[in-house]
Homo-oligomer: A and B are copies of this chain.
Amino acid sequence: MLYFVLKFWVKGGQVLWMKAVIIMGSKSDLDYCRKIAENLSEFGISSILRVASAHKTPQKVLEIIKEYEKDDVVFVTVAGRSNALSGFVDANTVRPVIASPPYSDRFAGMDILSSIRMPSGVAPLLVMEAENTALAVAKIAALTDEKVRERVKNYQDRKKGKIYKADEELG
């Protein structure tokens, strides 16, 4: 009991709840990023949307990292084509970085490799599609936030429920 009181106090007093900092390399991915944010909000996770390019405005990316990494954040990097952003952010922060590159059918989607083939010591985590990106962030947030954990559980249960329901409707 004391544990929960203390925990509330400690955390409550500091607004430590995890949030997601979504950095997109170009404004053209704004819709995709908003979809991540909307899905995050359903897990009770707030998110910040930023535009910055590792290629063109690296200083700005570094400033964004500095601005947020003192808080408990997960960075979500959204960049298509040759994805420099994800590795760049990851190498310059101690915070977890989730790479969520929008799919492009150019070259059969093989741009994805630029999000995976990282040098040693650079380890962004890849996940595809907005909804799954939000889920992955939520699971990390859930490590320290029971409410999010419950919402993840409920979300997963709803997904299972849909399958059960779909199966019944066929019967």
Interface string of A44-57 (1 = CB under 8 A from B): 00000111111111
Residues of B within 8 A of A15 (CB): none
Chain B residue, CB-CB nearest to A62: B58
From the candidates B9, B27, B58, B152, name the one contacting A166 in the complex (CB within 8 A): B27
Given contacts A10-B3, A123-B132, A167-B52, contact A139 B57 (CB under 8 A): no
Say yes or no for A102: interface residue by CB 8 A criterion: no
A167 to B94, Cβ gap below 8 A? no
Min C-beta distance of A90 to chain B, whole Å: 8
**How many A residues are at the interface, by size bracket?**
35 or more
Smallest CB separation, A152 vs chain B (Å): 5
Separation of A164 and B122 alpha carbons in the complex (Å): 16
CB atoms of B82 and A163 under 8 A apart: no
Contacts of A91 in B (CB 8 A): 53, 55-56, 156, 159
* CB atoms of A113 and B114 under 8 A apart: yes
Q: Is the CB of A167 within 8 A of B60?
A: yes
Determine the distance from Cα of A56 to Cα of B112 in the docked complex, in whole angstroms. 21
Report yes or no: A112 in contact with B123, Cβ–Cβ below 8 A. Answer: no
> Distance in Å from the Cβ of A95 to the closest Cβ of chain B?
6
CA distance A135 to B94 in the complex (A): 10
A88 touching B55, Cβ below 8 Å? yes
- Considering only residues 141-162 of chain A, those with a C-beta below 8 Å from chain B are 142-144, 149, 152-153, 155-156, 159-160, 162
